[in-house]
């Protein structure tokens, strides 16, 4: 995104932050009116500008003016990653030029890579969503120091000096999750202490190894951070307690996904996820496709996003299973509450030295990985330091043969570093799990031994 303006300086960002602050305590009725208006605008947009939805609406014989209530959303079909993969251009807005867009790649636990396109206005709105839930906890990205421990790569010259981090814009310390082990953990803790952040933004698989080494080695921070913001992966209650014990901070587990159609955050009173109605519509659907709303009931999270006009998603099945929460919260926000999200369990691989390395931030990294031509993939590990990619390719990639496989191995190897050897091969089809999903990692090693 180096040729794009900074989204934090965009008028769209400022306007969005102000609107979210203003509307967060609106009544349920007013929020429902807002969602209906946004849904009508979205449907009008896709009717004229997005091939997949335009063709569907013509076949079904309805127009945007026929959207009279939120229940009319059900006139649209359910879609999933496979639907989009089969015709990605049909979901991109007419006239959108790829060289003027940003792209993000999502894979999640299913190993089905998907590229989502967006313009700079969407990025600004997405950053504003983050700024908003930071403000819920009394923070903001402009004035508070932070650490980002996510999926970023660090320059080789810094790594050669034993520095697995870099400073950005004075306030932000960016750290690599790929070099955390028992020997390097004290250096990570010392670097955090020197930076003195108010919060850490991370994902579970990146921060858990560091948390364990902190507790094992009693490497306590001199000045504990206030919050650990975790997103992108499922956390167990035990993992939450471990991270909070290590950093002496509250863990704030945020629900967000690369597709950008839903954002759910806790509040100061509760860890229950509050799903922002300004961002999109969350449906919780049972196995028959019926909406569930009873507290304690489970359903698949299905998203309709308002923010991305370039690549809009309507009734997109996320594959995540959630539990409906109780109605109402002491914070006063009239948002839909989700008690728990199931179905996102992070995975690790083991390097040649026996250290655990989070795989998800490496292979689903927005900037470094290009999954063009890959229909499905699975990673197999049976030996420390050895990863085998099984790739179900599109025809174009299959024709490129060994060249395409070598490029894949080189990209993954460059991210994970010299303690891994990566191989890849084509397969005709990949087996599914007993529940009909793909798992992107088939880990045959006992990874718990590497924490001991």
Q: What is the DSSP string of 188-204?
A: HHHHHHHH--SEEEE-H
Q: Is 196 left (phi over 0), alpha (psi -120 to 50) or beta?
A: left
Give the sign of the dihedral formed by CA 198, CA 204, CA 207, CA 208: positive
User: What is residue 356's DSSP assignment?
Assistant: E
Element (H, E) at 156: helix 156-160
Between 287 and 23, the higher pLDDT residue: 23
**Full 3-state SS string of 71-103:** HHHHHCCCECHHHHHHCHHHHCCCCCCHHHCEE
**7-131+255-342 belongs to which homologous superfamily?**
ANL, N-terminal domain (3.40.50.12780)
Look at residue 367 and tell me whether its pLDDT is greater than 70: no
Look at residue 397 and tell me whether its pLDDT is greater than 60: yes
pLDDT band at 22 (very low <50, low <70, confident <90, very high): very high
Helix, strand, or coil (residue 225): coil
pLDDT average, residue stretch 447-452: 57
User: What is residue 291's DSSP assignment?
Assistant: B
pLDDT for position 443: 86
Look at residue 26 and tell me whether its pLDDT is greater than 80: yes
- Average pLDDT of the chain? 89
**Separation of CA 245 from chain center:** 25
Nearest Cα residue to 52 out of 96, 3, 100, 94: 94
CA distance readout (Å), 367 to 84, 131, 192, 242, 266: 21, 22, 25, 30, 28
pLDDT band at 450 (very low <50, low <70, confident <90, very high): low
CA distance readout (Å), 301 to 48, 267, 284, 292, 433: 27, 21, 5, 10, 20
pLDDT for position 370: 67
pLDDT for position 435: 30
Long-range contacts of 292-297 (CB under 8 A, 24+ apart): 292/324, 293/324, 294/324, 295/324, 295/325, 295/326, 295/327, 295/339, 296/323, 296/324, 296/339, 297/323, 297/324
**Separation of CA 2 from chain center:** 21
pLDDT average, residue stretch 301-314: 96
pLDDT for position 27: 98
Between 148 and 318, the higher pLDDT residue: 148
Look at residue 417 and tell me whether its pLDDT is greater than 70: yes
pLDDT for position 141: 84
Nearest Cα residue to 126 out of 319, 256, 284: 256
Residue 195 and residue 59: Cα distance in Å, rounded?
Answer: 58
Cβ-based burial of 356 (10 A; exposed 0-12, middle 13-18, buried ≥19)? buried
pLDDT over 90, % of the chain = 64
CATH of 349-447, one of 3.30.360.10, 3.30.1600.10, 3.30.300.30, 3.20.110.20: 3.30.300.30
Look at residue 132 and tell me whether its pLDDT is greater than 80: yes
Residue 371 and residue 390: Cα distance in Å, rounded?
Answer: 13
Other Cβ atoms closer than 10 A to 173: 21
CA distance readout (Å), 102 to 42, 105, 297, 365, 367: 20, 10, 37, 14, 10
pLDDT average, residue stretch 257-270: 92
- What are the extents of the domains in the chain? 7-131+255-342, 349-447
Q: Is 190 left (phi over 0), alpha (psi -120 to 50) or beta?
A: alpha
Look at residue 347 and tell me whether its pLDDT is greater than 70: no
The partner residues of 291 in beta bridges, in order of sequence, read: 285
Residue 138 and residue 300: Cα distance in Å, rounded?
Answer: 32
């Amino acid at each position: 995104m180096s040729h794009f303006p900074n989204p934090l300086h965009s008028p769209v960002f400022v306007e969005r932050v102000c609107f979210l602050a203003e509307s967060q305590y609106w009544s349920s009725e007013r929020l429902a009116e807002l969602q209906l208006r946004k849904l009508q605008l979205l449907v009008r947009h896709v009717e004229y500008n997005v091939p997949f939805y335009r063709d569907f609406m013509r076949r079904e014989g309805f127009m945007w003016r026929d959207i009279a209530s939120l229940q009319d959303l059900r006139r649209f079909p359910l879609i999933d990653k496979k639907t989009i993969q089969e015709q990605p251009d049909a979901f991109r807005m007419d006239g959108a030029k790829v060289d003027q867009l940003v792209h993000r790649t999502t894979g999640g636990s299913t190993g089905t890579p998907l590229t989502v396109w967006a313009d700079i206005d969407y990025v600004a709105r997405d950053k504003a969503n983050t700024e908003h839930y930071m403000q819920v906890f009394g923070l903001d990205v402009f004035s508070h120091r932070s650490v980002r421990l996510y999926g970023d790569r660090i320059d080789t010259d810094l790594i050669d000096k034993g520095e697995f981090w870099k400073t950005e814009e004075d306030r932000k310390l960016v750290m690599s999750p790929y070099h955390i082990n028992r020997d390097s953990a004290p250096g990570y803790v010392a670097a955090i202490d020197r930076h003195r952040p108010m919060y850490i933004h991370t994902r579970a698989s990146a921060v858990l190894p560091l948390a364990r080494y902190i507790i094992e080695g009693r490497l306590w921070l001199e000045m504990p951070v206030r919050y650990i913001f975790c997103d992108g992966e499922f956390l167990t209650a035990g993992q939450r307690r471990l991270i909070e014990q290590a950093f002496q901070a509250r863990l704030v587990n945020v629900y967000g996904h690369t597709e950008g159609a839903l954002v759910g955050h806790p509040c100061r009173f509760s860890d229950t996820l509050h799903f922002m109605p300004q961002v999109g519509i969350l449906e919780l659907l049972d196995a028959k496709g019926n909406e569930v709303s009873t507290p304690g009931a489970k359903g698949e999270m299905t998203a309709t996003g308002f923010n991305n006009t370039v690549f809009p998603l309507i009734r997109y099945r996320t594959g995540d299973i959630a539990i409906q929460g109780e109605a109402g919260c002491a914070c006063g926000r009239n948002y839909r509450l989700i008690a728990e999200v199931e179905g996102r369990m992070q995975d690790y691989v083991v390097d040649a030295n026996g250290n655990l390395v989070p795989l998800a931030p490496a292979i689903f990294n927005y900037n470094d990985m290009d999954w063009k031509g890959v229909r499905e993939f699975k990673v197999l590990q049976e030996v420390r330091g050895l990863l085998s990619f099984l790739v179900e390719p599109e025809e174009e990639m299959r024709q490129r043969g060994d060249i395409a496989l070598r490029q894949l191995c080189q990209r993954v190897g460059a991210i994970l570093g010299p303690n891994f050897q990566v191989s890849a091969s084509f397969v005709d089809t990949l087996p599914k799990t007993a529940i009909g999903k793909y798992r992107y990692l088939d880990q045959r090693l006992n990874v718990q031994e590497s924490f001991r």
